[in-house]
């Protein structure tokens, strides 16, 4: 059973758009090993770096915010980011649990 | 994702329909998939895999492709019998968990809109109330009145319709008496034993919000056992 306990992030994304904010939707599209949040978990980020929801247990959210703000600044439609323990930035944003996740960023427009 | 797509996803969620969001990760295009709706030309070749994901209610990327699927199921229906103090807290917890709640209580002074703002309240006896609600194996019953006149008909309905969760408030003694009555009404011991009574997981608390929390915790656990 999936998605029975929905987190209403999409509804919140719509609320943000309604007040003229630029919004990036970040979705966990793949996981390997022990990842903290399941596939389909979401967070949203606006141009100021405010965010809601989660794609991990707090391990990679800062990087997702940074990447999302970059996406909006460069006005790119979408982007895929992989997070692994072996990332060079592992000391900062790696997944301590040893899992790997792919997060898909897309602008809502 | 296009704003139009986002809007229609939100409205599908509101209408409690079963659907999936399919995203082509290389183009960024998303579309909504429904059982009876034909797929777009571009996605037709993946129709077997998409149906497979949809049937098993799975989220993920189709192997070897750039197609991501996220499935949405209908929310679980929870029927609370007894618009009592505990029910007020239950409703609060259930809101953040996306359960679809109906409250049944024939006693008008309990089942008031003032006590349960914006809730579906059916101010009738259970036998009458159940005529208004479509129920199935995706439905849960929480009986809170511990008044046999109100709880028993609801429990009988839930057992007959094979609800996936049936719980009833009351002490061990109250529950033993309840089981005896159901036995006399012809229910098998298997069915009677499937009732969670006394209801809830053991937290130790006795206040209304604590009991509500223990009930909702048990309900979530049983939902994942389905």
CA distance B212 to B88: 9
Residues B44 and B83 in one domain: no
Domain carrying residue A102: 9-107
pLDDT tens digits, one per residue of A7-17: 789 999 999 99
CB A40 within 8 A of CB B70: yes
Residues of chain A with Cβ-Cβ distance to B164 below 8 Å are: none
A18, part of any domain: yes
What percent of chain B is predicted at pLDDT more than 90? Answer: 80
Residues B112 and B187 in one domain: yes
* Measured CA distances, B103 to A42, B132, B150, B198 (Å): 32, 12, 12, 20
- Asked whether the beta carbons of residue A27 and residue B70 sit closer than 8 angstroms, the reply is yes
Give the H or E element holding residue B165: strand B165-168
Q: Which of B49, B72, B95 marks a domain boundary? A: B72
DSSP state at residue A101: E
Residues of chain B with Cβ-Cβ distance to A6 below 8 Å are: 13, 72, 75, 98
Of B2, B10, B60, Cβ closest to residue A39: B60
B137 vs A50 pLDDT, higher one: A50
Does the pLDDT value for residue A91 go beyond 60? no
Indicate the number of domains in chain B: 2
Q: Which of B72, B100, B119 marks a domain boundary? A: B72
For helices B85-95 and B208-225, what crossing angle results, to 10°? 50
Residues B101 and B191 in one domain: yes
Phi and psi dihedrals of B188, rounded to 5?
Answer: -70, 160
A67, part of any domain: yes
Query: Confidence band (pLDDT; 50, 70, 90) for B85?
Result: very high
> Which distant-in-sequence residues (6+ apart) come within 8 Å of B190 by Cβ?
none
A3, part of any domain: no
Asked if A76 has any chain B CB less than 8 Å from its own CB, the reply is: no
Residues B22 and B44 in one domain: yes
Domain carrying residue B11: 3-72
Q: Predicted ipTM?
A: 0.87
Q: Which two tokens stand for residue A9?
A: 């992030």
């Amino acid at each position: 059973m999936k998605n029975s306990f929905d987190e209403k992030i999409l509804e919140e994304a719509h609320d943000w758009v309604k007040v003229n904010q630029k919004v990036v939707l970040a979705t966990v599209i793949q996981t390997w090993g022990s990842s903290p949040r399941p596939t389909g978990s979401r967070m949203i980020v606006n141009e100021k770096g405010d965010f809601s929801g989660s794609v991990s247990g707090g391990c990679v959210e800062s990087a997702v915010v940074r990447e999302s703000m970059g996406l909006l600044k460069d006005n790119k439609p979408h982007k895929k980011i992989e997070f692994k323990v072996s990332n060079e930035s592992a000391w900062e944003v790696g997944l301590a649990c040893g899992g790997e996740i792919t997060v898909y960023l897309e602008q809502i427009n | 994702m296009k704003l139009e797509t986002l809007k229609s996803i939100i409205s599908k969620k509101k209408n409690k329909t079963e659907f999936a969001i399919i995203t082509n990760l290389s183009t960024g295009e998303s579309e909504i998939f429904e059982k009876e709706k034909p797929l777009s030309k571009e996605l037709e070749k993946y129709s077997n895999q998409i149906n497979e994901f949809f049937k098993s209610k799975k989220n993920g990327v189709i192997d070897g492709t750039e197609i991501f699927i996220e499935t949405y199921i209908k929310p679980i229906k929870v029927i609370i019998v007894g618009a009592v103090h505990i029910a007020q807290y239950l409703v609060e917890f259930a809101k953040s968990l996306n359960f679809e709640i109906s409250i049944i209580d024939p006693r008008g002074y309990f089942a008031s809109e003032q006590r349960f703002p914006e809730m579906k309240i059916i101010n009738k006896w259970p036998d009458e109330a159940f005529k208004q609600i479509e129920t199935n194996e995706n439905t849960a019953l929480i009986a809170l009145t511990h008044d046999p006149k109100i709880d028993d008909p609801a429990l009988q309905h839930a057992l007959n319709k094979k609800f996936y969760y049936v719980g009833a408030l009351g002490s061990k003694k109250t529950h033993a008496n309840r089981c005896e009555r159901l036995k006399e009404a012809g229910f098998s011991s298997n069915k009677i034993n499937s009732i969670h009574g006394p209801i809830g997981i053991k937290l130790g608390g006795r206040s209304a919000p604590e009991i509500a929390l223990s009930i909702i915790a048990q309900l979530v656990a049983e939902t994942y056992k389905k």
